[in-house]
Amino acid sequence: MPEGSLMGIIIASLSIIIMPFLASQKRKVGEKIGSKALVADSKETVACVILSVTLLIGLLFNYFFGWWWADPIASLIIVWFLIKEGRELLEGEENEN
């Protein structure tokens, strides 16, 4: 059975705190210099926050309650999210052509 990861909890928590600020700054700079790539990257950074929240929930349940299966379930949620985002990206590219 996997052990809880205090270091993983700390890193995920820091990510949740730092990444929204980073996303905001990327968006502001991207808009200021007219960089669509940087604005898009700011949106990806927001997605990272969502993934970090999901990861943290799984890690916390495993660490405090010993629910070893919470982390794999969180991983499946992350996979679902990534597939959804990938589909939306591909559909958006198809509509542009």
pLDDT digits (tens, 9 = 90+) for 41-60: 998 898 899 889 998 999 99
What's the number of domains the chain is made of?
1
pLDDT tens-place string over residues 7-45: 999 999 999 999 999 999 999 999 999 999 999 899 889
Tokens of 28: 């502001």
Q: Does any domain span residue 71?
A: yes
Q: Could you tell me if 8 and 59 are in contact, meaning their C-beta atoms sit under 8 angstroms apart?
A: yes
Domain assignment of residue 59, given as a range: 6-96
Q: Does the structure show a pLDDT above 80 at 4?
A: no
Burial of 85 (0-12, 13-18, 19+ CB in 10 A): middle
Query: Is 1 among the domain residues?
Result: no
Residue 79 located in a structural domain:
yes
Collapsing DSSP to helix, strand or coil, 62 comes out as helix
In a domain, residue 73? The reply is yes
65-89 tens-digit pLDDT: 988 888 889 889 889 988 988 888 7
Residue 16 inside a domain? The answer is yes
Q: Is residue 63 part of a domain?
A: yes
Q: Which of 16, 6, 74 is nearest to 48 (CA)?
A: 16
